[in-house]
Structure formats: structure tokens, C-alpha cells
């Protein structure tokens, strides 16, 4: 039986949250979070395509007291998980929910058999860089001019995922 991870000490006590798979009905709110979070937000069509046509895509929603507070997406290909996007709604920032969400994404990726996770992040996003380093990610390279809004480079980061709880190992 799949069990929820322990509440990280960084998450405020009394905060009622849950994770669930993203559904098409969530796309309007997800697009609002995209607008709050990114210079070049994904469109509703892009999310719809991910949810309906991409067999590798897994998207999670983080709810706080029944309200969508954030979401994260990844592609699970073989033993690798590639984070496509992670965002927390502006009014929920500062509560360590990004860490909570990323830990759940790492856990979920491991359950699907991933042993590594990768992502790209702007070098100017110091908060995200610090979080990813805290979660075991290390910088392995740079994608020059990756971000189309300002041609900013992307830092490529990788992390090894813990073995415990993998579905493949339980067969």
C-alpha cells in the first residue's frame, strides 16, 4: 500500500494539504498560476496535450484546504524523470510548499521506477536553485539561450532518487 510521506518540518503545522493527479478540469486554475509564475507561461492547450496525448507525462496538483496551491509536472521515460514545470500560487509562497511539492514529485518518480531526476532552472532564480540543491540536485551543465523571453541560459541539474518504494522493486 502506498503511503504518504512524513510532513517535512518546514511545512507549517495545521496546514491541511493533499496531492492528487491533475485533471483537465484543473487547467484554468493551472493557467492562472502559470501567469503568476512565468515570463512565458504554458497555454491551456499545452496542458491539455500533456494530459491527453503524452504517455510519459505525470502532473500533480497540491491542494491546501481544498484550493489549488501549486502543481508540478514531469515526464517519466525509462529510469529518468524530467521535471517540466513546478509552480506555487503567489498567495501560497513562503510556506515551503515548493519543497513539499518537489519531494512528492521525487517520491512519485521513484514509485514509477525512476532512479534519476533532471530539470532546467534559470541561474537568476536563486530561490529555486537553493531548493534544488537542498533536495540533492547538482549542476551538471548549461543550456545556452534556453529561455526564449530573454535568452537567459538554463542550469541543468540532476539528482539521484532514493530506492525505497519503487514499484519495479516490489514485483
In tens digits, what is the pLDDT along the chain, a chain of 171 residues? 344 555 666 667 778 999 999 999 999 999 999 999 999 999 999 999 999 999 999 999 999 999 999 999 999 999 999 999 999 999 999 999 999 999 999 999 999 999 999 999 999 999 999 999 999 999 999 999 988 888 899 999 999 998 755 555 444
Q: Choose, from 36, 120, 146, 147, the residue flagged as catalytic.
A: 120
132 carries an active-site annotation: yes
- Determine which one of 17, 59, 71, 132 is catalytic: 132
**Strands 80-88 and 116-121, bridge-based pairing:** parallel
Q: What CATH code would you report for 17-170?
A: 3.40.630.30
How far apart, in whole angstroms, are the C-alpha atoms of residue 138 and residue 130? 10
- DSSP code per residue over 114-143: --EEEEEE-TT-HHHHHHHHHTT-EEEEEE
Q: Is 120 an active-site residue?
A: yes
pLDDT in tens, 126-153: 999 999 999 999 999 999 998 888 889 9
Amino acid at each position: 500500500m502506498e503511503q504518504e510521506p512524513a510532513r517535512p518540518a518546514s511545512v507549517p503545522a495545521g496546514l491541511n494539504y493533499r496531492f492528487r493527479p491533475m485533471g483537465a478540469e484543473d487547467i484554468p486554475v493551472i493557467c492562472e498560476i502559470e501567469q503568476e509564475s512565468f515570463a512565458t507561461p504554458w497555454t491551456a492547450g499545452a496542458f491539455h496535450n500533456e494530459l491527453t496525448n503524452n504517455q510519459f507525462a505525470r502532473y500533480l496538483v497540491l491542494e491546501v484546504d481544498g484550493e489549488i496551491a501549486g502543481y508540478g509536472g514531469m515526464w517519466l521515460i525509462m529510469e529518468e524523470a524530467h521535471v517540466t514545470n513546478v509552480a506555487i500560487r503567489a498567495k501560497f509562497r513562503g510556506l515551503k510548499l515548493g519543497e513539499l511539492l518537489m519531494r512528492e514529485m521525487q517520491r512519485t518518480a521513484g514509485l514509477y521506477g525512476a532512479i534519476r531526476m533532471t530539470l532546467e532552472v534559470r541561474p537568476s532564480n536563486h530561490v529555486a536553485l537553493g531548493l534544488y540543491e537542498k533536495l540533492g540536485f547538482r549542476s551538471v551543465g548549461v543550456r545556452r539561450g534556453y529561455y526564449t523571453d530573454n535568452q537567459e541560459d538554463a542550469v541543468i541539474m540532476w539528482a539521484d532518487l532514493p530506492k525505497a518504494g519503487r514499484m519495479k522493486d516490489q514485483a
